[in-house]
Structure 1
């Protein structure tokens, strides 16, 4: 029998029951695992070292009884133990071996030793069972993080077991108290910073509120403090890397899908939208919010379902999402506008994003202090927030839905349309998240502070939007009147039909009542509407209801008109009366009253 000290070195705890190893493997006296490397002449087995101390805790599988794996514990060279759940499918190739090395297992990663280690992992039999979950976020009433399971699932142990090695920033550093003093307390009085930090807690509430994903985009010039808002919000969840918890917009569609999946039910922060391709921005606005990636075929030509997630994200940029999409000749749709909500970063106090400096001389000094603090203290707040939620998930869910309805009623103008109400509900959810964090003691704010910050940001959003009217109507009118204003020279004067015009778009005619544009069907459908992604029928119907489009006698949106030098043509007849009161669009293309 080996010395007791040698046995104790290899054991993680006195009461740990070692798993019986399969034939050809054994535990060494110092806790290492050995394998048979040969046979002596007399038939005796020759044993050699396979790997450093390794414990087998449980066999894992998902709720469907598939995705088998192992929950193991690895003793590092300094004597600490790392727990890791590994999918057995990872043994195909070398990715899993690299993961074991990264977690401190010492073995020869090539040749016969690597093959034998794989055989050991496949062959070992554990009596205990655990439920593996491959995604971050809610699993029932338990919240899964890469290194922590928050909450309890009676009768079964839950472990995080991704299908592939996953890089993440859900790290914990510094102290919770330090984060409260140096980060959360210093954002008080700053509506944008308080709102960003409140929005950081929205992710875990999306499921409870029964809301789809979505996010907010802080827009404004450089050096206004936009990136500071992302670092502040991200510090609630993690950090410790070069960019803390902040990711970049500069990514492919596939990479953005991966980021969304890793940040399911948590927070995704994306800095500087100018770095993303306009087409990718157009697709990402829907993809991130809708929570579903593209279905793909695997190497065996089998259709693999797309990833799914619930995404709460914060974004920054010098330009808006609609401006980025416009670089490619498109117009952002109303659906995108309510999924990625554009907030002016400048708070209007001459200090960029800041309003209260908390004793610092300049906004830049406070920004530097906040960035420094987020590098020292991170990852505590979100875990504390979730730990309170799991104590009463049904109760928090009911209170969240009630709070959203109440807050929407308080901040939404009575005459506003459904789209504005949808946006208001997102601001209300962020406000409620901040108020919950206050009541839980996660942030050192006073009751009502988070609501006030969210209301201020909502009112600024509504003001920058131009009112509470339906955005599809606004977009359609903007597209039509914008074209008529920019390309008025492409319309041939009715009184001068011989006037040569390159790329003629139609005719224009001035009367005592105003100005009439006779727009060719191809121009209206392909240029005015097609480039902006607007349905021509919807645009024409909008014009008709607003009194700008003259219908045909049978109610159709186009009319047959006898055009000079051309003859009968079906055209869209858009009429603008002289001196349209309060309508800047119409006034831009209407004639001076005669």
Structure 2
């Protein structure tokens, strides 16, 4: 008996006996069932969508690290298991693994020739059959090879078994094996691997890793959200939802750890969702949270809502509720951050929700740029040390913000006026005008504070499950080809709302309507698939009312100021239609009352003064500008240069004739 056998506690005769092949396991998961008709989405009582895929020997909660591969088409997890054998007897183990897998067989993590797996770990098999196997390390597997979409960044997905029996996955880059082999070994040891005591064990381990080439191939993904344009694979930190063979390598940070999951869908519905019933703002924020994954399939840019209200009105509770769709309270960040910090947070929340609190804390000029950056979904352009363009971060976000002041008020601090771009990207919502601050129904609580505490307590123990299940629903719709129908549903909502407005919508109003229609679609789809605690159609009604409230706040007083003035203009255009000269047909001579060109009418200053004499002319021009009925000139002027086809190009009042005609003055 040699020293090695003595250390391992086996006699030479026992070592000579063949070890029984260790079992290889494969966990199969049923594919998702997709709905056939979006008009009849029915919530299913049984979850038939694929579970979160994690590569590991047993699928236990002890497995950590990046999510493992998912076999295309079947949603199977081709994980293999080398279960530890405690107190193994010679007759219960074998000195070699099964023969190498043939091409295309993904079920066996074949050891390279010359190695064997025993119950206590990996051994090198000497060429001399009479010599004893050389112990290298405790149980270890190389489950897959990986590379990025450009077929670069090759490496191996290594699984090691720690002393407590749990398996841990460690991505090992091939370049690191060459450049820093010592750090690779140290990382594996840090995850629980134990090496033999001799000096050559490290070199033997490195040789084993370099020679181990499994059949499974994975594509690395370094960002959260949808992977690919088909909306069939979604990355959540180290989780993979869907059916692609991908390996997430998302940097593990506080921005990602907030994407936690605790409790089930039913738990969230029973403790959180039901409290949203008869609370419009709560339904609105939850629906907004669900809308993140819909941005890509609907082809929409990011954006969201800013909830403005007095202190202790319930704004923080709304943010916690929205965050609970995807994770815990760590998903809520602060506006007070550098642009680089906001960029990093946005990148980590791609295709999901970004919640930002206390808008008053960010410098006004920084807010001006931050709103555009977050909604447009593009980070700064940077250079590398080699003077080449660095990778530019991209994202799509459902954005929710809160504060005691509006975006417009904040920007005014730096004497920066709120532009239309701010308004359509971060829509202002009153959060303290309901019956109890932000709430309408307290569901038995003694007061608003008690109800807010109950909601926040509920989300602390129930979060993350509904967001994951919603993504699975979208993946199912994508597989069935139904996802392409969703834009029509959103557009129908927006078109109906716009048709009921008292004035013709401009581009700004249309974009806001589309944002609310997206929120309505997300909330209603989540409801119809059994993920919420409120009734069918409630999310649509709430979003429509929020849009009308926004329109009234934005245009109500302005419309009232313009009503009589616009009526006078409508009467003038009706009576003088034949007197307006078609642009391009007039000649030098007497000045006409105005010109017409398609949907625009150009009125001279003389005509305008006759319609609105004295100070009324300035008041009318301002009212028309406020209602987007008049196209102003440069530097804030009410008049602009006429088109080149009009002789001498005088300054004229340029009206949107279609909008003026559609304005409901009565």
Instruction: Provide TM-score, normalisation by structure 1.
Output: 0.70
Aligned residues: 474
CA apart distance, 1:272: 1.5
Structure 1: distance between partners of 2:175 and 2:359:
37
The answer on 1:147 being equivalent to 2:238 is yes
Equivalences for residues 403-442 of structure 1 within 5 A: 403-412=489-498, 413=501, 414-442=503-531
The answer on 1:354 being equivalent to 2:439 is yes
- CA 1:127/1:453 → structure 2, altered by over 3 Å: closer, same or farther? same
Return 224-233 or 450-459, whichever deviates more. 450-459
Partner of 2:533: 444
The answer on 1:172 being equivalent to 2:267 is no
Could you give the per-residue CA deviations for residues 442-467 of structure 1, whole angstroms, max 9, x where no partner exists?
11321111111112222222233234
Q: Is the 8 A contact 2:140 2:159 kept in 1?
A: yes
CA apart distance, 1:212: 0.9
Structure 1: distance between partners of 2:399 and 2:183:
30
Q: Is the 8 A contact 2:223 2:350 kept in 1?
A: yes
1:544 to 639, 643, 646: 639
Partner of 2:94: none
1:12 to 65, 81, 84: 81
Structure 2: distance between partners of 1:408 and 1:468:
23
Partner of 2:398: 312
For residue 223 of structure 2, give the secondary structure of its aligned residue in structure 1.
Answer: coil
For residue 466 of structure 1, give the secondary structure of its aligned residue in structure 2.
Answer: helix
Q: Is the 8 A contact 1:244 1:375 kept in 2?
A: no
Q: Is the 8 A contact 1:462 1:468 kept in 2?
A: no
CA apart distance, 1:160: 1.3
Partner of 2:424: 338
- CA 1:274/1:132 → structure 2, altered by over 3 Å: closer, same or farther? same
Partner of 2:548: 459
Q: Is the 8 A contact 2:632 2:639 kept in 1?
A: no
Equivalences for residues 76-225 of structure 1 within 5 A: 76-85=162-171, 87-88=173-174, 124-139=212-227, 140=230, 141-153=232-244, 157-162=245-250, 164-167=251-254, 168=256, 169-225=258-314
Structure 1: distance between partners of 2:476 and 2:650:
61
Could you give the per-residue CA deviations for residues 195-222 of structure 1, whole angstroms, max 9, x where no partner exists?
0001111111111111111121111111
Could you give the per-residue CA deviations for residues 331-381 of structure 1, whole angstroms, max 9, x where no partner exists?
2221121111111112432x1100011111111111111111111111110
Partner of 1:378: 463
CA apart distance, 1:80: 2.4
Partner of 1:272: 358
Could you give the per-residue CA deviations for residues 97-137 of structure 1, whole angstroms, max 9, x where no partner exists?
897677655679xx999898777656643322112222211
Structure 1: distance between partners of 2:183 and 2:367:
32
- CA 1:396/1:348 → structure 2, altered by over 3 Å: closer, same or farther? same
Partner of 2:577: none
- CA 1:97/1:47 → structure 2, altered by over 3 Å: closer, same or farther? closer
CA apart distance, 1:84: 5.0
2:149 to 40, 53, 63: 63
Q: Is the 8 A contact 1:87 1:161 kept in 2?
A: no
Structure 2: distance between partners of 1:453 and 1:69:
50
Partner of 2:580: none
CA apart distance, 1:13: 4.3
Q: Is the 8 A contact 2:276 2:533 kept in 1?
A: no
Structure 2: distance between partners of 1:333 and 1:22:
68
CA apart distance, 1:419: 0.4
Return 369-378 or 171-180, whichever deviates more. 171-180
For residue 305 of structure 2, give the secondary structure of its aligned residue in structure 1.
Answer: strand
Structure 2: distance between partners of 1:433 and 1:131:
30
Equivalences for residues 386-405 of structure 1 within 5 A: 386-393=471-478, 395-405=481-491
RMSD over equivalenced CA pairs, Å: 3.9
The answer on 1:328 being equivalent to 2:414 is yes
The answer on 1:73 being equivalent to 2:159 is yes
Partner of 1:288: 374
Q: Is the 8 A contact 1:172 1:379 kept in 2?
A: yes
CA apart distance, 1:440: 0.5
For residue 391 of structure 1, give the secondary structure of its aligned residue in structure 2.
Answer: helix
Structure 1: distance between partners of 2:187 and 2:362:
31
- CA 1:114/1:300 → structure 2, altered by over 3 Å: closer, same or farther? farther
